[in-house]
Structure 1
Amino acid sequence: MQAIQQFREQVRQAAAGKTPLRIRGGGTKDWYGGPLPSSGEILDTRIHTGVVDYEPTELVITARCGTPLAEIEAVLAAQNQMLAFEPPHFGDGATFGGAVAAGLSGPRRATSGAVRDFVLGATLMDGKGEVLKFGGQVMKNVAGYDVSRLLAGSMGTLGLMLELSVKVLPRAVREATLRFETSEIEAIRMLNTWGGQPLPISGSCWHQGVLALRLSGARAAVDAAVRSLGGQVMPDCASFWAHLREQRHAFFEGDTPLWRLSVPSTTGAIVTGGEQLIEWGGAQRWLRASSSDAAMIRRLVAAAGGHASLFRGGDKTVGVFQPLAPAVARIHERLKTAFDPATIFNPGRMF
């Protein structure tokens, strides 16, 4: 295709001159990750769009990297299906490739899985302009290193994702959201207790003494859970979860740096002095705190067996992502060299 040839020429020119390329779709997540390259040019994926293959009965969709994420979701919704990891858009221009590259999942992630769990196959252009194919369109298709899932969350640092195949799921027949007034410690205890029971939980959020719990599934299962759990049924719950996914919830307003803490769900309260919002049954915690507190925050989170990322705002010189252990860092370096020997793709976006 013409777009692929254009990409190849751009990649080879950048490799020859060892100048950075900034892979970019709609640019809705430009703020995420490390600083953008100060030199080089943009490789715009939006010239490569369209759904390549979609068979609803197979629960798999294949589309090109520049396809608008909203278009993918509309195609699936017409067949009463969805991207179960609920990727945030953070703007109208979000693309399919950008959603996978960022690797961000929404409220349903704790029960349905993360982005990487749904990626079945990928077509990638490496730093030499060569087109490589990994995986396929079925779950059990991997022999050797699972590169297609490795690309999820790679921030475009390994190459240009040309096409992606992901598993989709049917939309729930019934959804309801319950509201409970409770403390942080009690909310964590409740969520972990419920997590061990056969309940159709698909989302949770605790903030300022209020716990919201989303239930999704068969009508009988959701209605039974509503009766057994109690709480207050929340009206217009779809809007609440959409606002949470897109970070339009009141907690995310303001300029104070936003930290993303990933910890075991059973972890008790993490006392940092900043305001927090808890998701994913206790496993994901958002924190408002100065980036000057980076060492303290990461020390506390590491002691709990987790890691902390400076998600939005603040001084990125403290490191956006948790520093890697030396052995893991070497693996990252070798993968980067294998796919992008001239280090042209999105340098500095991760480490």
Structure 2
Amino acid sequence: MSEPQNVDASASLLEQVNQALLHRTPLRIQGGNSKAGLGRPSEGQVLDTRAHRGIVSYDPTELVITVRAGTPLHELHAALESTGQMLPCEPPSLGAEATVGGMVAAGLSGPRRPWSGSVRDFVLGTRVITGTGKHLRFGGEVMKNVAGYDLSRLLAGSFGCLGLLTEVSLKVLPKPRQCLSLALEMDSARALARLAEWGQQPLPISAASHDGQRLHLRLEGGAGSVAAAHERLGGEPLTSVYWSDLNEQRLAFFAQALPLWRLSLPTNTGPLDLPGAQLIDWAGAQRWLKSDASAEQIRARVQAVGGHATCYRPGLIDSPFQPLAPTLLRYHRQLKAQLDPQGIFNPGRLYAEL
């Protein structure tokens, strides 16, 4: 494997943005393009971030790493692994070419999300090229932004619609001393009930998924607490590769030909009656659904319990992300107008109105 590169190409990126502003040319921001199937198609000239890469600074004792946006995500993981640390939110790559900028822009988190937090929670600061042609720094490595709203965290999950992320500072944590994965035979209704019960107790659970037949648990922490929890909960030891296969959508469930939906639900939501097959993640707060049911039917059922649904099948519907209520859409438009007044960054990627 080649040595990681360290290249500051921010001047070139800024020039490309300024040229786009001058000629009113829409830009389609992309890194490894591993999340290309998420969201609406966005027209524009491709702005590739991958030349702008490398770790800017990393002090393991401070638990902070600063990385350029075009850095391959696997290089970030390797740097943290070398010091026994990790990014606790477990962002999925969904492709070998995934970049750090794409990780933040997509805002996707893995199985540990309910216990550790989301990508947004680990973003301390950013550098961003705005739609006014300025390269600005927001937040910092140790202190929060005071500009009225925390722009760095707003960028997480914005799919490049608010600006061009060039650099991000992330909070990291030590890897757990002990990790044990278990499988318990039970149906999904019982599994959800048990997870709701265990959620009120001091158990070292860091992942919980049900595949339709078995409940999969991951226990993390000190050796004593993990062993005690195993003795109490029971179950057969399970290879830890299950969690990476779930996170990267490599399980057999995801290979089914039906459209894939991600359902985000309130904690302790019970079984959902929907056509198709379901895979439970995040102890029930996230469900993956393979179904040919209509978007209207799926979203009506999910909204009835206070959740929302995202379609992962490219081109199936015009609004893959849950449509916004009028008030929220107005706020999104106002924010977009402030940061990208000409609307050149990934136009329409999140919503047609943006």
Structure 2 match to 1:325: 325
The number of aligned residues is 344
Normalising by structure 2, we get a TM-score of 0.95
The one-character-per-residue Cα deviations of 1:41-77 (angstroms, maximum 9, x if unpaired) are 1111011111011000111100100011100100000
For residues 70-118 of structure 1, the C-alpha deviation after alignment (integer angstroms, 9 at most, x for no partner) is 0010000000000101011111111011101000001111101000000
Report the Cα distance in structure 2 between the residues aligned to 1:77 and 1:53, rounded to whole angstroms: 16
**Which of residues 29, 33, 51 in structure 1 aligns to 2:39?**
33
Q: Is the 8 A contact 1:257 1:314 kept in 2?
A: no
3-state SS in 2 of match to 1:57: coil
1:287 is the counterpart of 2:293 = no
Cα deviation for residue 314 of structure 1 reads: 5.5
CA contact (8 A) 2:39 2:314 kept: no
> 8 Å contact 2:256–2:290 — kept in the other structure?
no
- Report the equivalent of 1:70: 74
Question: Among residues 254, 257, 264, which one is paired with 1:255 in the alignment?
Answer: 257
2:248 to 239, 246, 249: 246
Distance in 1 (alpha carbons) for counterparts of 2:17 and 2:107:
23
Q: Which residue of 1 aligns with 2:120?
A: 116
> What letter is aligned with 1:14?
A
Residue 107 of structure 2 corresponds to which residue in structure 1?
103
2:208 to 187, 204, 216: 204
Which of residues 30, 52, 57 in structure 2 aligns to 1:53? 57
Question: SS at the partner of 1:348?
Answer: coil
Counterpart for residue 28 of structure 2 = 22
Alignment partners' CA distance in 2, 1:328 and 1:5: 35
Q: 1:141 aligns with which of 131, 141, 144?
A: 144
Distance 1:16 1:320 in 2: 31
Name 1:93's counterpart in structure 2.
97
Superposition CA RMSD, Å: 1.3
Alpha-carbon shift at residue 195 of structure 1 (Å)? 1.1
Does 2:322 match 1:316? Answer: no
* Cα separation, 2, equivalents of 1:314 and 1:208: 28
Unmatched 5+ residue regions in structure 2?
A: 1-6
Q: What TM-score comes out, normalization by structure 1 length?
A: 0.95
- Secondary structure in 1 matching 2:9: helix
Amino acid in the other structure paired with 1:96: V
Q: What corresponds to 1:166 in structure 2?
A: 170
Q: Distance in 2 between matches of 1:9 and 1:167?
A: 30
Q: Do the aligned residues in 2 keep the contact of 1:257 with 1:313 (CA within 8 Å)? A: no
Structure 1 vs Structure 2: percent identity of aligned residues? 51
Measure the CA separation in 1 of the matches of 2:8 and 2:197: 55
CA distance in 1, matches of 2:314, 2:328: 26
More helix by share: 1
| Residue identity matched to 2:270 | G
> Partners in 1 of 2:268 and 2:42 — Cα distance?
36
Query: In structure 2, how many angstroms separate the alpha carbons of the residues matched to 1:2 and 1:118?
Result: 23
Moved over 3 A (4+): none
Partner SS state of residue 312, structure 1: coil
In the TM superposition, what is the alpha-carbon distance from 1:128 to its structure 2 partner?
2.1
Letter of the structure 2 residue corresponding to residue 141 of structure 1: K
* Structure 1: distance between partners of 2:287 and 2:342: 37
Residues 23, 314 of structure 1: alpha-carbon distance in 2 compared, 3 angstrom cutoff: closer
Whole-angstrom CA distance in 1 between matches of 2:279 and 2:175: 26
Q: State the Cα distance separating 1:187 from its structure 2 match.
A: 0.7
Alpha-carbon contact 2:180-2:226 (below 8 Å) kept: yes
Q: Choose the corresponding residue for 1:213, options 214, 217, 239.
A: 217
